[in-house]
């Protein structure tokens, strides 16, 4: 169970989840220099949106047929909330001191948690989430669940698509330009407000995918699942270099693997027996973050901010 390949696999799946959520943090920061503290709740509401669809579908429908509908439902909720937040809460504060939208984001995060807690039927404790049939699969010496495969597949597809979109499409280029120099982007004819909305929407969609995948993997969702996942994903984004999309993916992966390996191996180091296991995994993940930032403050793939005249 605690073999290296198994831990790496666990880390890979965990990392995919963090990466998907981290993309939302990094895209928003890259384009409007805002840490969207409500993004964890966008992930959470996406999961609840997917569950709501599932609960209202006829029970004769197989989970496979329900899956695309659940994704659409979850994505709708996440994207509407993300874009709504930008339009109504963050945009009016675009020229305010930096602290103002930050506080708004925290307030929004709390509001969303409480909204689900109070209004989603029986959400005060965890809600059961359907799981995918089949598995566990044995690939080599590694055990893999269906939910894990879904997560990995979805993450890979999303990230490849995003990479291609940003690098090769006209809108992707406009997004890069807006992130680097919004005023000059406007001089190119770019509607920067629209570009910003697209960034929020993409982040929201990815969070919804992660929310659905999380539900499928763990078999349950809670109103406060966004807090810890959001914190980890934000850490992943910073670790990889905040603002850098590839950094978010890499940071997610590194964090996931570090967490999985810390769970398994730290306890084997003589003298460190009490510092292993699940409880300490989080600690080691953050220790890793601190070490990386001490050595490389801009994150793994981040750039030092220095432009030529």
Partner 1 sequence: MTALLEVEDLRVAYGKIEAVKGISFSVDAGQVVTLIGTNGAGKTTTLRTLSGLLKPVGGRVRFDGKVLTRVPPHKIVALGLAHSPEGRHIFPRLTIEENLKLGAYLRKDTAGITKDINRAYDLFPILGERRKQAAGTLSGGEQQMLAMGRALMSQPKLLMLDEPSMGLSPIMMQKIMATIVELKAQGTTILLVEQNAQAALSLADQAHVMEIGTIKLSGTGQDLLHDEGVRKTYLGED
Task: Note the residues at the interface with partner 1 (CB under 8 A).
Answer: 170, 173-174, 176-177, 180-181, 183-192, 303, 307-309
CB of 304 to partner 1, least distance (A): 12
Burial 70-79 (b: 16+ CB within 10 A, else e): bbebbbbbbb
Q: Which is nearer to partner 1, 190 or 288 (CB)?
A: 190
CB of 99 to partner 1, least distance (A): 21
CB of 244 to partner 1, least distance (A): 10
CB of 203 to partner 1, least distance (A): 20
C-beta separation of 6 from 17 below 8 A: no
> Which residues share a beta bridge with 142?
139
Beta strands 137-139 and 142-144 are: antiparallel
CB of 181 to partner 1, least distance (A): 6
Distances (CA, A) of 260 to 2, 29, 253: 10, 27, 11
Q: Which is nearer to partner 1, 154 or 250 (CB)?
A: 250
Tokens of 69: 């509908």
Q: Which is nearer to partner 1, 26 or 192 (CB)?
A: 192
Backbone angles phi, psi at 196, to 5 degrees: -65, -40
Please tell me the distance from the alpha carbon of residue 42 to that of residue 120, in angstroms, as a whole number: 15
- If you ran DSSP here, which 8-state letter would residue 86 be given? I
CB of 234 to partner 1, least distance (A): 23
CB of 185 to partner 1, least distance (A): 8
Backbone dihedral region of 227: left (phi > 0), alpha (psi from -120 to 50 degrees) or beta? alpha
Q: Which is nearer to partner 1, 181 or 273 (CB)?
A: 181
Q: Which is nearer to partner 1, 122 or 183 (CB)?
A: 183
CB of 58 to partner 1, least distance (A): 46
The closest of 81, 113, 74, 76 to 213, measured between CA atoms, is 74
Structural element, H or E, at residue 99: helix 99-119
Distances (CA, A) of 38 to 87, 187, 232: 14, 32, 13
Q: Which is nearer to partner 1, 1 or 187 (CB)?
A: 187
Q: Which is nearer to partner 1, 145 or 178 (CB)?
A: 178
Please tell me the distance from the alpha carbon of residue 82 to that of residue 196, in angstroms, as a whole number: 11
Write 169-172 long-range contacts (CB < 8 A, 24+).
Answer: 171/195, 171/198
Q: Where are the beta strands (DSSP E) in the chain?
A: 127-128, 137-139, 142-144, 220-221
Q: Which is nearer to partner 1, 122 or 307 (CB)?
A: 307
């Amino acid at each position: 169970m605690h073999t290296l390949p198994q831990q790496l696999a666990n880390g890979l799946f965990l990392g995919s989840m963090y990466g998907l959520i981290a993309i939302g943090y990094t895209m928003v920061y890259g384009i409007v220099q805002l840490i969207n503290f409500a993004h964890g709740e966008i992930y959470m509401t996406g999961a609840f949106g997917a569950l709501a669809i599932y609960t209202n579908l006829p029970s004769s429908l197989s989970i496979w047929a329900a899956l695309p509908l659940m994704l659409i439902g979850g994505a709708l909720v996440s994207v509407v909330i993300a874009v709504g937040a930008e339009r109504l809460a963050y945009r009016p504060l675009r020229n305010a001191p930096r602290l103002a939208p930050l506080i708004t984001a925290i307030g929004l995060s709390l509001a969303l948690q409480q909204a689900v807690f109070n209004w989603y039927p029986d959400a005060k404790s965890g809600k059961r989430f359907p799981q995918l049939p089949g598995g566990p699969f044995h690939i080599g010496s590694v055990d893999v669940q269906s939910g894990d495969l879904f997560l990995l597949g979805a993450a890979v597809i999303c990230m490849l698509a995003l990479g291609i979109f940003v690098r090769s499409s006209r809108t992707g280029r406009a997004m890069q330009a807006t992130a680097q120099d919004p005023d000059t982007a406007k001089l190119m004819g770019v509607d920067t407000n629209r570009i910003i909305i697209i960034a929020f929407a993409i982040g929201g969609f990815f969070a919804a995918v992660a929310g659905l995948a999380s539900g499928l993997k763990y078999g349950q969702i809670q109103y406060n699942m966004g807090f810890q996942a959001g914190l980890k994903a934000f850490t992943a984004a910073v670790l990889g270099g905040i603002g850098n999309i590839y950094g978010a993916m890499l940071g997610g992966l590194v964090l996931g693997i570090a967490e999985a390996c810390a769970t398994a191996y730290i306890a084997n180091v003589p003298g460190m027996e009490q510092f292993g296991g699940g409880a300490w995994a989080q600690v080691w993940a953050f220790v890793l973050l601190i070490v990386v930032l001490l050595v490389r403050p801009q994150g793994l793939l981040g750039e030092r901010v220095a432009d030529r005249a």
